[in-house]
Amino acid sequence: MKKSSTYLILAAAGMLLMSTASAQQIKPTTEKELVEAVEKHRQLYASTPLKDFKARNIGPTNMSGRIVDLEVAQNPNTFYIAAASGGVWKTEDNGQSFTPIFDHQSALGIGDMALSPSDNNILWVGTGENNSSRSTYAGSGVYKSTDAGETWQFMGLPHTQHIGQIQIHPTNPEIVWVGAMGGLYSQNKERGLYMTTDGGASWKKVLYIDDNTGIIDIKIHPKNPDILLAASWERFRQAHDFIGNGKGSAIWRSEDGGKSWKKAVEGFPQNEFVGRIGFDFAQSNPNVVYALHDNQGPSDKEPQQPRRRGQEEENPLTFEDFKSMSIGDALGLEEKRLNTFLRRNQFASHYTAEEIKRQLRTGKITTLQIADYNKDANDANAALTNTSIIGAEVFRSEDAGKSWKKVSESDLSRLYNTYGYYFGEVRVGTENEDEVFVLGVPLLVSRDGGKNFTRTDSIGRPHSDHQSMWINPKDGKHILLGNDGGLYRSYGGGARWDHLNTQMPISQFYSIMTDDATPYHVYGGMQDNGVWFGSSKNDPADRWESLMGGDGMVVAVDTRDNDIVYTGFQFGNYFRIDKASGDRRRITPGHEIGNDPNRWNWRTPARLSHHNQDIIYMGSQYVYQSLDQGSTWRTISPDLTKNEKSGNVPFATLTVVEESPFEFGTLYAGSDDGNVWITRNNGGNWESLNEGLPQNRWVSSIAPSKHQEGLVYVTLNGYRNDDFKTYVYMSLDYGKSWKSIKANLPEESTNIILEDHSNPSILYLGTDHGLYVTMDGGNTWNLFQGELPNVAIYDMVIQERENDLVIGTHGRSVYIIELEPIHELAKPNQKVMD
């Protein structure tokens, strides 16, 4: 794309401003601020006028969400389920029904639970998931129930953020050990292993490595509670990079009931490549314990290369061919052969053989630019699975963890691929010390002491990405399994599985959309569960239908016929789907020759035009516009990011592209590194709107008003710096100046703001802890909770014909709120902004 002088001037000015701002350090939220925010949320919950307003959950449950822990009572008909970001659920009828029992506590992101072996009425819950993924929410401490989940008491440790493991002494429930991972995106000293001997009234930190290393696992010797093992894990995530290993990662051992600890060094790796560790004692022979290790060391094996369409072609063109190719030779290439090369390597759709040759003849491009088209491209999906690291290994100890020996002979590199930070659980059969289950993308089992492994998740087809397992101590064939698809049960030792998927709506939505059918459908993309749609009249247990696999992302629906849907999976892999015919076509735009390759956000923005639904927008670091339903694209912006940081996670990407409902050609764009832009001439030039906003925060939403020209709202998010403050702003002049409308809101990461379609005084705000409503333009906010829990809200949309607010939560599926009662309550405040 040819850049105009206006582009270059504005870009240069913006980069100068941004580089200065980027030097400012973003401070993580302090413990005092976190405690104050939790208390303010509690006060708003107690006083809200919206507490008894209705919110209807429509599921889905047939495609569930991530289950991170299982605790089973002595009567196995009673057990507890911890959802990654959907709270704690209880069944007393062996999974036929479940009830949420932890709603409206400080956080619904759960790290671990523990049920007292000596008193099953005592249940501990640690908030803040211990998986270090993009969708891992921070918690705010630990809770205890002494009445089997009826009531809860906060037991402290508010700034531990992510709880790795909780263990309760087998005979004395006053003694509890808590492993804290600490902040995911910042260094803090609240990490480590804590111990209480008075039921949580006081705590002592008994193991601390450093401010970047926490405790991910704790296990107690089945026969001698003075012997404990703990796994430390050094890891540090940033928006643009992730390090999941380090010298702080190790196995620690205590012989005095957890009061003092020594590192177990004999036979276990002691280097900078040690990653996440999980372990389990054999109940039938307690001196035998297995450790599952994510070895991040380099592998001698060549990474598997994805097979691309056209590789069966005889003598296919390659990028290398163009490095030394003359223009004359390029012009002489057979058109079919050149077109195959262009499509196979996903060049922008307008680059046909004819167009390439035209641009070569006129000197607009060179053969070297063709050779370098994907030179710096980051295939983020391939990077998850094809990096050469050693990966998962199994170690065995026969002296209760004093010494270790690597026993795995099977190639376990595909158990984790490169994201061992997302897994780490190992379970030993309760009746056979040589039966070992390792949980990863597949579920594997060994029957020979960890040497050889085979899959045990094929019959019943349980979802992949396995997170938790319980094996009945009295019947080793009875197993419960939690994964990214929900809860599974086996009575045959894992040979067959039943999906208990009718009771818990705990799906994790990234996006939500509706169509105009009667009754209308709700569409959404879900964490690790693809894209689905269902009727707005559904009960939670009613089935939804699948549209797409992968991690489901943004959905846009052409409401003229409700059949054409634009959607896809992570990192910009988007498609146009015709529901009626089943046809689907990949529409992801390629970059212009001479431009840097596209950098796609995990949740790539895509929007249909308000003015013509043949027009669609997508954002990488550039804004793309298609006038023909994604068949062809043109680039209408320069790089709108700062592009100052790089690592092993795609960054410097656009997170938001929005269009004004009033004016075609007026577009807003926001980036993950803190830029907000506007164009009022369809990309002819772009103007930075950063002044007056906090710098370098993730732009989570932009909402141009439907009621007043120039009125626009924006939310920013500091979550990826462990900054949990509330950033919500409005502008009356197209973003030239900004005013905070935070008002009385507690400090909670903000994800989405939405303007009411009929009353401009009403705004809806989704945060990491629920829904807020203002009826006076942002002067005061009310918490909408009751039937809607304090769950993270990623996306919202209003179905205007039915006057419904449709909410995509990240942990409790989809809620619909009928807006008539809110409109009635807000009538005295209705006005137009001035």
Give me 783's structure tokens.
């918490």
The answer to whether the beta carbons of residues 625 and 637 sit under 8 Å apart is no
Burial of 554 (0-12, 13-18, 19+ CB in 10 A): buried
- Residue 142 and residue 13 in one domain: no
C-alpha distances (whole Å) from 503 to each of 72, 108, 398, 812 are 18, 18, 42, 12
Distance of alpha carbon 749 from the chain centroid: 14
- Residue 223 and residue 354 in one domain: no
478-515, pLDDT tens digit by residue? 999 999 999 999 999 999 999 998 789 999 999 999 99
Give pLDDT, residue 798. Answer: 98
For residue 746, which phi and psi values (nearest 5 degrees)?
-75, 165
- Residue 218 and residue 343 in one domain: no
- Residue 354 and residue 207 in one domain: no
- Residue 605 and residue 752 in one domain: yes
% pLDDT > 90, the chain? 88
Assign 676 a pLDDT band (cuts: 50, 70, 90).
Answer: very high
Lowest average pLDDT, out of 32-36, 288-292, 540-544, 586-590, goes to 540-544
- Residue 336 and residue 259 in one domain: no
For residue 360, which phi and psi values (nearest 5 degrees)?
-65, -45
The answer to whether the beta carbons of residues 280 and 401 sit under 8 Å apart is no
From 236, 229, 237, select the one nearest 207 (Cα to Cα).
229
Q: What is the pTM of this model?
A: 0.94
Exposure string (b/e) for 321-350, b if CB count within 10 Å is 16 or more?
bbeebeeeebeebeeeebbbbbebbbbbbe
CATH code assigned at 734: 2.130.10.10
Longest dimension (CA), the chain: 84
- Residue 184 and residue 326 in one domain: no
In degrees to the nearest 10, what's the CA dihedral of 217, 128, 115, 813?
A: -130
Residue 9 has pLDDT above 50, yes or no: no
Any idea which residue has 């789907």 for tokens?
Answer: 577
In-domain check, residue 430: no
Any idea which residue has 């516009």 for tokens?
Answer: 625
In-domain check, residue 817: yes
Residue 820 has pLDDT above 50, yes or no: yes
Any idea which residue has 């656009």 for tokens?
Answer: 654
Task: Tell me how far apart the alpha carbons of residues 593 and 584 are, in angstroms, rounded to a whole number.
Answer: 26
Residue 23 has pLDDT above 50, yes or no: no
Residue 193 has pLDDT above 70, yes or no: yes
Assign 313 a pLDDT band (cuts: 50, 70, 90).
Answer: low
Assign 3 a pLDDT band (cuts: 50, 70, 90).
Answer: very low
- Dihedral sign for Cα atoms in the order 352, 356, 362, 364: positive
**695: Cβ contacts below 8 Å, ≥ 6 apart:** 18, 21, 22, 24, 674
**312: Cβ contacts below 8 Å, ≥ 6 apart:** none
- Residue 143 and residue 211 in one domain: yes
Of 195-204, 309-318, 407-416, which has the strongest mean pLDDT? 195-204
Assign 18 a pLDDT band (cuts: 50, 70, 90).
Answer: very low
C-alpha distances (whole Å) from 26 to each of 22, 29, 368, 465, 700 are 9, 9, 41, 33, 17
Give pLDDT, residue 4. Answer: 36
In-domain check, residue 802: yes
Task: Tell me how far apart the alpha carbons of residues 730 and 741 are, in angstroms, rounded to a whole number.
Answer: 7
Cis peptide before 505 (omega within 30 of 0): no
- Residue 121 and residue 210 in one domain: yes
Query: What's the chain's Rg over C-alpha atoms?
Result: 27
Assign 384 a pLDDT band (cuts: 50, 70, 90).
Answer: low
Give pLDDT, residue 22. Answer: 42
Task: Tell me how far apart the alpha carbons of residues 97 and 87 are, in angstroms, rounded to a whole number.
Answer: 16
- Residue 117 and residue 24 in one domain: no
Query: Of the residues 240, 263, 286, which one is the last residue of a structural domain?
Result: 263
The answer to whether the beta carbons of residues 623 and 673 sit under 8 Å apart is no
Give pLDDT, residue 312. Answer: 57
The answer to whether the beta carbons of residues 191 and 252 sit under 8 Å apart is no
51-90, pLDDT tens digit by residue? 899 999 999 998 889 999 999 999 999 999 999 999 999 9
**304: Cβ contacts below 8 Å, ≥ 6 apart:** 385, 386
Q: Residue 323: give the domain boundaries.
A: 319-382
- Dihedral sign for Cα atoms in the order 693, 698, 700, 702: positive
DSSP one-letter code for 529: T
Question: What's the mean pLDDT in 600-624?
Answer: 98
| DSSP β-bridge partners for residue 29 | none
- Residue 123 and residue 259 in one domain: yes
- The number of distinct structural domains making up the chain is 3
From 464, 603, 478, 599, select the one nearest 531 (Cα to Cα).
603
In degrees to the nearest 10, what's the CA dihedral of 105, 106, 110, 114?
A: -60
Give pLDDT, residue 524. Answer: 97
In-domain check, residue 171: yes
Question: What's the mean pLDDT in 440-450?
Answer: 96
Cis peptide before 519 (omega within 30 of 0): yes
Assign 669 a pLDDT band (cuts: 50, 70, 90).
Answer: very high
In-domain check, residue 345: yes
Any idea which residue has 């030779």 for tokens?
Answer: 329
544-551 CB contacts, 8 Å cutoff, 24+ apart: 544/59, 544/60, 544/62, 544/63, 546/63, 547/523, 547/577, 547/579, 548/575, 548/577, 551/510, 551/525, 551/526, 551/527, 551/602
Task: Tell me how far apart the alpha carbons of residues 778 and 109 are, in angstroms, rounded to a whole number.
Answer: 28
In-domain check, residue 545: no
In-domain check, residue 658: yes
Assign 302 a pLDDT band (cuts: 50, 70, 90).
Answer: low
Query: Of the residues 363, 382, 401, which one is the last residue of a structural domain?
Result: 382
- Residue 635 and residue 721 in one domain: yes
DSSP one-letter code for 718: -
In-domain check, residue 797: yes
